[in-house]
Amino acid sequence: MLTTDRQLVVPTPPDPQPEAWRESLRNAVRTPRELCEMLSLPLEIAADAGDFAMLVPRSYVRRMQPGNPADPLLRQVLPVAAEHQPADGFVADPVGDLAATRGPGLLHKYHGRVLLVLTGACAVNCRYCFRRHYPYATATATLRQLQPVLDQVAADESVDEVLLSGGDPLMLGDDLLADLVGRLEDIPHLRRLRIHTRLPIVLPERVTSELAELLGRSRLQPVVVVHANHANELDHQVAEALRQLSTAGAMLLNQAVLLRGVNDNLPALRALSERLLDLKVMPYYLHQLDRVAGAAHFEVPVERGLELIRQLRAELPGYAVPRYVQEIAGEPNKRVLA
């Protein structure tokens, strides 16, 4: 059990003048019609979003090419009819999250590290999201449930790394994150704090000076794993957000997903790796698509993925080539394909 009197701080109501990132999120595009109109595209290319609502920040839309229905950023966020077509082998929980749950919001799949699902909210709803059917309402830790979850972490000295996930953990405010990080720092056997987030890519103004300072002063080594799939996502605002995180002392890694029509070609993957390295981000993983229901139209055959990795290795230094991996439910680690 934790031997500290520190209590979780319940955040105060939002300030009447919200932070810039919250304002941007409030003004995000939420309907296929509005998105198509912004990009001068026919509404016929889109479909109803169904239970997985559409959500796209306007700054992300501005990185898309108007008039191009095949834009690689657009394809990641626009609901299409193929999502509603059933496909064999595509299921609600493709990576076995529910079987790995050890408490509200606590997942323990791999030796030495645990994952906290802190929120179901995100700044963008990627149509291939492997948690698009995750039962956040019942499987996410509330403020009152976090203490028992942290007690479980404190009781297991084999755990030296905690991963914050969601949704997106950076959807929580800086005050609440600071309180949570402080409580994790009170667990003596923890060494690293890993944050899996898409917000520095899709909503870069979320990287505030307060967030950077929080990571910079923590006794835990911060590892920030961002998620970019295409070089066009990495504009100057994203570059500045990543610079702030790097300057604060965070190790920066990128996870991409191999997606049909987005990055399933050599020029796209090469440009992504090169741009990431320019921004001091290590290309870490290229994921084979998790077979979540509604995302079958994004799947690229493994044989094609293997060929792309072979081509990347012929053109880039080894450190610029991500490991090609696949997560298999129940396996003790990610399966390295190449």
What pLDDT, on the 0 to 100 scale, is given for residue 237? 97
What pLDDT, on the 0 to 100 scale, is given for residue 4? 38
Which region holds residue 171: left if phi is over 0, alpha if psi is between -120 and 50, else beta?
A: alpha
Global confidence as pTM: 0.93
In this predicted model, what pLDDT tens digit does every residue of 93-142 receive, in sequence order?
999 999 999 988 999 999 999 999 999 999 999 999 999 999 998 887 76
What pLDDT, on the 0 to 100 scale, is given for residue 34? 98
pLDDT band at 11 (very low <50, low <70, confident <90, very high): very low
Arithmetic mean of pLDDT over the chain: 93
What pLDDT, on the 0 to 100 scale, is given for residue 14? 44
pLDDT exceeds 70 at position 1: no
Q: How far apart are CA 335 and CA 111, in angstroms?
A: 15
Which phi and psi (to 5°) does residue 253 adopt?
-125, 155
pLDDT exceeds 90 at position 193: yes
What pLDDT, on the 0 to 100 scale, is given for residue 30? 98
How is 33-75 classified by DSSP, letter by letter? HHHHHHTT--GGG----TTS---B-HHHHTTSPTT-TT-HHHH
Q: How far apart are CA 144 and CA 172, in angstroms?
A: 15
pLDDT band at 8 (very low <50, low <70, confident <90, very high): very low
Token pair belonging to 168: 């997106």
How is 278-291 classified by DSSP, letter by letter? HTT-EEEEEEPPP-
Token pair belonging to 191: 């060494």
If you average pLDDT over residues 195-219, what whole number do you get? 97
In this predicted model, what pLDDT tens digit does every residue of 258-306 receive, in sequence order?
999 999 999 999 999 999 999 999 999 999 999 999 999 999 999 999 9
pLDDT exceeds 80 at position 39: yes
Kindly provide the b/e burial profile for residues 50-77, where b requires at least 16 CB atoms within 10 angstroms of the residue's own CB: eeeebbbbebbbebbeeeebebbbbbbb
pLDDT band at 3 (very low <50, low <70, confident <90, very high): very low
* Amino acid at the residue 10: V
Bridge partners, residue 337, by sequence: none
What pLDDT, on the 0 to 100 scale, is given for residue 143? 64
How is 106-152 classified by DSSP, letter by letter? EE--STTEEEEE--S--S---TT-TTTT--HHHHS--HHHHHHHHHH
What pLDDT, on the 0 to 100 scale, is given for residue 41? 98
pLDDT exceeds 50 at position 5: no
Which phi and psi (to 5°) does residue 221 adopt?
-70, 120
**H or E stretch including 334?**
none
In this predicted model, what pLDDT tens digit does every residue of 131-145 receive, in sequence order?
999 999 888 776 677
Query: What's the sign of the alpha-carbon dihedral 272, 273, 278, 282?
Result: positive
What pLDDT, on the 0 to 100 scale, is given for residue 138? 81
Bridge partners, residue 248, by sequence: none
If you average pLDDT over residues 50-54, what whole number do you get? 96
Bridge partners, residue 192, by sequence: 161, 221
